[in-house]
Amino acid sequence: MPNQVLIIEPQNELKFKVDYAGIFELSHTTYMQLTNPSEHTVLFKIKTTAPKKYCVRPNSGVLSPNSKVDIAITPQPVHVDNTEKHKHKFMVQSVIAPEGKTNIDQVWKEISPDQLMDYKLKCVFESPRGANQNDSGDTAAPTEIIKKRAPAEDAKLLTKTSFPKSENLESDLQKATNEVIHLREEESKLRHENLRLKEELLRVHQGGESRMPRGHSYGPEKTEQVALMPWIATAIGMALLGIIIGKFLM
């Protein structure tokens, strides 16, 4: 197999940025530059072991003598498992164009394997902070980094965020239950009283006015009491909810 005639930059590895969850950063594009220093026209193709996870533009083309081209490699927003990171590689495949051949697709079909020039580059994945991977292709998880840097601070944080324990939890729950039962009974009584007053007011409006002296109207205390009943029931319900929440947050 002949040596690669193209000059390829970078020479050994392509770097990509991933977050701690192993997902490629959308805004990051890696570039590869191909230069043809020869006096021949060179055809090239860019191949990868993970074609569904990278967008390569252009992924093939023609390089005239003493010309160059920039290849944009944009990773897709997909997850890259730690077990497959070290398997991601790119290959630049090239061949000197035969004289008189104008159909590029036909040239690639007819070319013999011993005429192809291959050049491989490995992929390196970096965290958002620029920390390189280790030799196994894994990055340290955020929790492991925090434990190594500040174990004492982590312990304090966990202590501060722990939920307080009630020494008399059973007793507090019993008291809260009794208060809830009492408030429900009071609410039930108020609802029945409210319905009774509404019915009485309705009877007065339907036929009671004809038996009243002219100018006499339904008592203001009764009217005000009927109007206030829905608000009292609402207040009782809100108080009930507040007591329940308060008991479990104390």
For residue 192, what pLDDT is reported? 67
Using a 10 angstrom Cβ sphere, with 0-12 exposed, 13-18 middle and 19 or more buried, the burial of residue 236 is middle
For residue 21, what pLDDT is reported? 77
Who wins on pLDDT, 146 or 243?
Answer: 243
CA distance 97 to 64: 10
Distant-in-sequence contacts of 177-181, Cβ < 8 A, 24+ apart: 179/243, 180/240, 180/243, 180/244
Query: ω into residue 10 within 30 of 0, thus cis?
Result: yes
State pLDDT tens for residues 128-166. Answer: 664 444 444 444 444 444 344 444 444 444 444 444 444
Domain boundaries, the chain: 7-139, 169-249
In Å, how far are 43, 93, 112, 114, 169 from 118, measured between CA atoms? Answer: 12, 5, 13, 10, 73
Q: Kindly state the tokens that stand for 183.
A: 């408030």
Give the pLDDT mean for 203-226: 56
**Residues 140, 146, 149: CA angle, nearest 5 degrees:** 105
Amino acid (1-letter code) at residue 203: R
Contact criterion met (CB below 8 Å) for 136 and 87: no
Using a 10 angstrom Cβ sphere, with 0-12 exposed, 13-18 middle and 19 or more buried, the burial of residue 36 is buried
For residue 194, what pLDDT is reported? 73
CA 142, 144, 149, 154 torsion-angle sign: positive
State pLDDT tens for residues 27-51. Answer: 789 999 999 999 999 999 999 999 9
How does residue 83 score in pLDDT terms, banded at 50, 70 and 90? confident
CA distance 105 to 227: 87
- Mean pLDDT (the chain, rounded): 74
For residue 142, what pLDDT is reported? 43
**Residues 132, 136, 140: CA angle, nearest 5 degrees:** 55
Q: Which overall architecture, per CATH, does domain 7-139 show?
A: Sandwich (2.60)
Say what the pTM is. Answer: 0.51
- Return the SS3 of 115: helix
What's the N-to-C CA distance of the chain in angstroms? Answer: 77
Q: Work out the number of other CB atoms within 10 angstroms of the CB of residue 69.
A: 16
